[in-house]
Structure 1
Amino acid sequence: MADEPDLTAIAEIYAGYVVAGVATFELDPPDTDEWRRRFRAFTGAGLPFLVAEQDGRIAGYAYCAPWKTRPAYRHTAETSIYLAGWARGRGLGGTLLDALVDRAVDAGVRQLIAVVADTGDDASLALHRKHGFADAGRLRDVGFKHGRWLDTVLLQRNLVNSTTA
């Protein structure tokens, strides 16, 4: 589980994606105070927020956020996973995603949604598909960043077999 002292490293990891990449559609990196607000909101809602450590430092993080604010969506959450550049390709994404799914089940989440920017790099899509997420749709040209229009691919994983609340 993540803790507030981890937020500085989390902010640094994410800033690289915001500034140089298109995996996130944020245009300005959130500072540590904003990360503290998000962390408290997500964990305050009972949702998991995890970190992976390697060689004594934060290698990546994953969390669930509410999918939508309307109450009927309360059992659906959106996943986010980011790894430090030096930590990619070591299997940490899968480890984080498995742990996130387990914690989401414990938190009463029934459906997980991944919104993956179609960047031309299929690593995130492959990761989610390998871990039980199925394609649920594509939103075309919904983000504009670094001079190009980007699609998002929606993936979904059902965490329960029952249709009762």
Structure 2
Amino acid sequence: MIRNVQLSDAKRIAEIYNPYIKDTIITFEEELVTEEDIADRIKYITAKDFPYIVYEENGDVVGYAYLSNWRSRSAYDITLETSVYIDEKAQAKGLGSILYAELINRARTINIHSLIGVISLPNPISQKLHEKFKFELVGNFKESGLKFNKLIDVEFWQLIL
């Protein structure tokens, strides 16, 4: 079941997100987040009326997705960045696709012109997800990030709505 995020989801979202921080290059964040950190982010995103959704199975949040500012200047308000994270125990069930489809639909309802997906490489699962939803690869920034003492390429994918 997909529903809007609630502040009470913050602890569970931090539990889902922290393994990505600790063990992967999928996010360039390096410090683990707390429930309070996530609650602040939820407040910030929902105050802008951007979609922030969770996927529940048997009463437990197993994935989440949201849209956020791609860049800070107001000229970019027509373009938002996508984020989708699935609990490591719930992966390979198609939940990322379910959340992404809903996120795209909600972006259309708030008159967003385009969506940007940012992918740290290698990440073939995320690349396939973006291809599935007809995002177009629009750029590859070589060695633009550093995590775990490794230089990482970052791709930008765009969907014009």
- TM-score tier, shorter chain, comes to over 0.9
Deviations 1:46-87 (A, max 9, x none): 100010111321111000001111010111100000000111
2:106 to 103, 110, 128: 103
2:81 to 78, 85, 107: 78
Structure 1 counterpart of 2:148: 146
Structure 2 counterpart of 1:113: 116
Aligned ranges for residues 9-158 of structure 1 at < 5 Å?
Answer: 9-119=12-122, 121-158=123-160
Deviating beyond 3 angstroms after TM superposition, the runs of 4 or more aligned structure 1 residues are none
Q: Distance in 2 between matches of 1:83 and 1:70?
A: 30
Q: Distance in 2 between matches of 1:44 and 1:108?
A: 17
The sequence identity of aligned pairs, in percent, is 32
Unaligned runs of 5+ in 2: none
Q: Distance in 1 between matches of 2:81 and 2:92?
A: 23
Does structure 2 retain, via aligned residues, the 8 Å contact 1:48–1:107? no
TM-score, structure 2 normalization: 0.95
Q: Secondary structure at the match of 1:36?
A: helix
Deviations 1:97-146 (A, max 9, x none): 00000111112211100001112x30001001101211011011111111
CA RMSD of aligned residues (A): 0.9
Does structure 2 retain, via aligned residues, the 8 Å contact 1:48–1:103? yes
Q: Distance in 2 between matches of 1:49 and 1:91?
A: 19
Q: Distance in 2 between matches of 1:63 and 1:39?
A: 9
Unaligned runs of 5+ in 1: 160-165
Q: Distance in 1 between matches of 2:63 and 2:100?
A: 11
TM-score, structure 1 normalization: 0.93
| Displacement after TM superposition at 1:147 (Å) | 2.0
Q: Distance in 1 between matches of 2:73 and 2:33?
A: 25
Q: Secondary structure at the match of 1:51?
A: strand
Bigger mean CA offset, 31-40 vs 93-102: 31-40
Q: Distance in 2 between matches of 1:87 and 1:110?
A: 31
Q: Secondary structure at the match of 2:129?
A: helix
